[in-house]
Structure formats: C-alpha cells, structure tokens
Chain A
Amino acid sequence: MKDLLDARNVIVALVIAGLLSLPLYTSITGNIFMLTLFTRIVIFALAAASLNLIMGYGGMMSFGHAAYLGIGGYAVGILAAEGIGSGFIQWPVALAASALFALVVGALSLRTRGVYFIMITLAFAQMAYYIASGLARYGGDDGLTIYKRSTFGGLINLSSRVQFYYLCLACLFGGIYLIWRIVNSRFGMVVQGLRSNEQRMQAIGFPASRYRLVCFVIAGTMCGLAGALLANNTDFVSPAAMYWTRSGDLMVMVILGGMGSLFGPMIGAIVYLLLEEFLSQVTEYWALIMGPLLLLIVLFGHGGIFGLLGRLRRG
C-alpha cells in the first residue's frame, strides 16, 4: 500500500481538496478574484486533459487543439445571439460541432505522421480561426459578446460564481474519470499500443486509423465542452480562442504537467496559468522568466512535473 503514499498521489489529493474547498476560502476572505482565476484554470485543465488523451496516450501531437475551444464557444455564442439561450440546446450543439470538426480534421490528418500531422492540425485550427474572424454577423475579429449565460431551466444558475465554478469542476473531474476509464479499456489499450508500435499492432490485427480517429473525436468533443464553459465564463468568445498560440499553451500545460499521466495536465494547467498570472503582475516581460522555467522542467523533469514527483520517492 506504500504506493498510496507516492508523492504524486499526495499532491493530487491535496490539489483536489484545495479545488473543492476554494469557494469556502473565497467566501471567508471575500477574495472573489481567486475564484474567477480558478474557474478559468479548471476549464483549461479540462482542455489540457482532453489534449493529453490524444497526445500523451495516443501519441498524436495535435497542434490545433484550441480550435475546439473556439468551436464550443462559438456554438454557445451564436445560439445565444440568435435567441436560443437554453444550455440543453447550446451545449449538445457545441459538443456535436466539435465532434464533427474533429472527425473531418482527424480523417484527413491521421493519414500523416510526425511533423506533417502537427502541421495539418495546425492548419485546420488556423482555418477555423480565419473563418471565425470572417463572421461579420457574429463580431468578426472583435469577437462576440454573450449577454446571457446558458440557462438550464432552474437546474443550475451559471451566473452564480460558485455554482458555475462547481459545474466546471464537475466537468473536469468527470472528464478525467472518463479518460481514466478509456485508457484502461480495450479501446485505450489499442490506442496506447498504437503509440508504442504501430507496425506491431497492425501485425496482430488492429486497423490503426479507425481507433486513432475515434480517440481524436473523443478528445475534440471533450475540449468542445471546455469551449462552451470558457465562453460562459468570459461572457465572450473571439477568434483568439483558436489562435495557434492558444494551442501551444495547451500543449505546454500537458508537457509541463506530464504527458500520459492522468492528473498531469491538471497540475500543468494550474502551474502554468498561476505562473502566467503572477509573473505578469510582477513584470510585463514575464515570458522571459516563464520560458527558461519551462525549459528546465522539460529538460530535467522527464515526464513533466508528474515525472519529477514520481522520482522523488526513489530519491
């Protein structure tokens, strides 16, 4: 049972406890800012976790994952602008649109490997970015303000900061739980096997592309949910949500936290966004500090923060 006391498990348990009790802290101290910040962090953690499913477990280095943040967000924003405010319609549409986009991108890009795959996923995301910029009716370049958050018929009130925070947290934990089930299932074994050795997997009888494609669609859909949450969080969606630097941010979160580890992306998102928040308060050249810091963790912490923690125990 000593595995339970692994540094990683202790940290994860502490972080989860911290996330769960954060609204308590803010209600005592009245520090609303922390709640707003962490709502954003939790949403990005969900997006990073979904990217980890294809990148860490599936070995598919998608450089266009932020596209789903935008697609999920625009689904909510556009429907809201057209007078459809119900989350029961908005959110399924957000998920379906993300899934469809992932299906198309995946079907075309998964024929390629390595750098080509990275480039094609990037190209598709940039295409989505320019299409959104061209949507004059929905704000174009300037983005689209959402005047009313999704409604769920009295079930939950997204305008309540605490309720919305817990909804995001539930989506994050639900997403991580789903990923945990998936990676240990038959399907997950196949996807990870393909990452490890595609030739071998083909030789024992697995058609590689269809398993990869389904995995790609699952991850895209999950990130679409993060997009719907993000749009509600900021009451705004703009093409910038899909810009390639945003996809890069998500990759950094995953790599920073630990690719292919269940909770790594969550830790990565927390560390990355907290650093960004506080370093940018200290200096406007915060990226100059962030860059080398990331470099150190990637160079010496093989397997990200999670890898580092894992080695702590062995000394």
Chain B
Amino acid sequence: MADPLLRVENLVRRFGGIVATDHVSLDVARGELHAVIGPNGAGKTTLISQLTGQLLPHSGTIRLAGQDITRVPAYRRSALGLARSFQITSLLLDFTAIDNVALAAQAHDGHSFYFWSNARKERHLRQTALAALDRVGLRHRADVLVSKLSHGEQRELELAVALATKPQLLLLDEPMAGLGATEAARMVKLLQELRREVTIVLVEHDMDAVFALADRITVLVYGRVIASGAPAAIRQNEEVRRAYLGDQHAVTRHG
C-alpha cells in the first residue's frame, strides 16, 4: 500500500488504569471500506473518537493523507475531509432534516460570519443539502423536524449530514445500531453504493453487514489489534474465532 489515506500508528489512550486503545496501528487505503470489529468494550468507539478529535490520544500519531492530524481539533478535521456518524444518533433534533444537512454544507463553504441574508434561501446550500438527502433516500422528508423522523430515517440522515461535508474519509460508528431487518438491509445497500465514492471506516456489530461490505477487517479486542486482513482471512483466523466470532455467531443464531 503506497500511500494510505489514513495511517494510525501506535495509538494509546487510557482511562485511568484501563488501556482502551493499546498501541493500535491501522492503515486505510484510498477507496477501501475498512471495517473495525470487536466485542463490546473493545475500544472501537474510543478509537473513532480519537480519529475525529473528540478525544486526544496519550501517544501515537494519526495521519490523514500524509498530514499529521493527531492534535488537530475536531472542527478542523472536518475541513480536512473527515466526517463521522455517531453511534448514538446526534443530530439537531429541533431543526428540519434539510436544515441539518444544509448546515453541514454551510460548514464547508467558508466561514459563517454572515449576519444579514437568509441562509435558508441560499440556493446552492439548499441544493447541496437536497442532493445529499436524495442520496440516502430522504428527499421527501426534507422539511420534517428531525425529532419526528423514525430511528431508521435519523440514521440515514446522519449519513446525509456526513456526505454534505464532501468527505474524503467517512467514519461510521455503528450505522446499523437499532435498525430493524428491512432498515438494516436498506442501509447495507446504501453503504454499498457509497463505498464507490468515498473511503469508509466502518465500526459495526452486525457481522453479516461487515462481511458483505468490507474490503478489509481489523479486529480489536481489549484495545489491541489481534488481526487485520481480508474478510476471508479473518473468518479463518483462529484467534479471532476464539475471541470473538464464535460467541457472536452463537448469540446471533439464537437471537
């Protein structure tokens, strides 16, 4: 891999005595969909939060397209082309769907110290927002308050918001969380389309989705990378089966 879009080296983050991220190294090539899996408490969300800048690592480096962004604040990472969706839906609930997306477009259209003209009447912001809503199949819900959207629609809106920032790299923290079977299937289909346009790091519990989507998978257990490779290799990996897949599959089968 000549020049990875994202390169994480020896990342360490502790919470008190617990090492939530234990010397994690990870490369994500341009154009790939890289899944990060691991049992609950493996440190997946902690890792994502460090990538987006919500949390600072204690040591190690994060590079985006060669640039060291380890200490760059969250809002500026977004400008560098990093977008995220949240595990627990995080939207502006008292805004309409289109306002949520338009704000994301606005964030990437220079500074926002304009005090006079009506932002809701700026055609290119609205059009960018509508296009992103269209992309996730929410165009017909554009003027609905987010608090009135279904959970599935809110998950899709999270994606639209991320897309409106025109990211190079999309970090998706459990986009299927809480979705029903049909909604999850729709989400998988959507991600299958998106992966052609943007590099994606996907943290997900839904193993079927992960194996259907991922080019490469990194397995995290207790904050450490125990394996990284193509889906087929991960499926065969003894340590992974022992530590994770075995249990998880048993659970899914009965559930």
Contact = CB atoms under 8 A, between A and B. Distances in A.
Interface of A: 181-182, 184-190, 192-193, 196-197, 199-208, 211, 214
B78 to A, nearest CB: 3
25 contacts: A182-B115, A185-B114, A185-B115, A186-B113, A187-B113, A187-B115, A189-B106, A190-B106, A190-B112, A197-B90, A197-B91, A197-B93, A200-B86, A200-B90, A201-B92, A201-B103, A202-B54, A203-B52, A203-B74, A204-B104, A204-B164, A205-B75, A206-B75, A207-B73, A208-B75
B108 interface: yes
B112 A204 contact: no
Contact of A204 (B78, B95, B116, B120): B78
Contacts, number: 96
Contacts of A201: 92, 103, 107
B120 A184 contact: yes
Contacts of A206: 75, 107, 112
B70 interface: no
Given A204-B165, A205-B108, A193 B92 contact: yes
Contact of B119 (A185, A196, A200, A205): A185
Contacts of A211: 112
B92 A202 contact: no
A196 B120 contact: no
B94 interface: yes
Contacts of B104: 204-205
B117 interface: yes
Q: Chain B interface residue count: which class? A: 35 or more
B183 to A, nearest CB: 21
Given A184-B119, A199-B86, A202-B74, 18 more contacts: A181-B116, A184-B120, A186-B106, A186-B113, A186-B114, A189-B103, A189-B106, A189-B120, A197-B91, A200-B92, A201-B103, A202-B75, A203-B83, A205-B108, A206-B75, A206-B107, A208-B75, A214-B113
Contacts of A190: 103, 106, 112
B115 A200 contact: no
B79 interface: yes
B189 interface: no
Nearest to A214: B113
A193 B114 contact: no
Contacts of B74: 202-203
A161 to B, nearest CB: 34
B163 to A, nearest CB: 11
A214 B116 CA distance: 14
Residue from A186, A192, A197, A202 having most chain B Cβ neighbours under 10 A: A186
Interface string B92-103: 111100010011
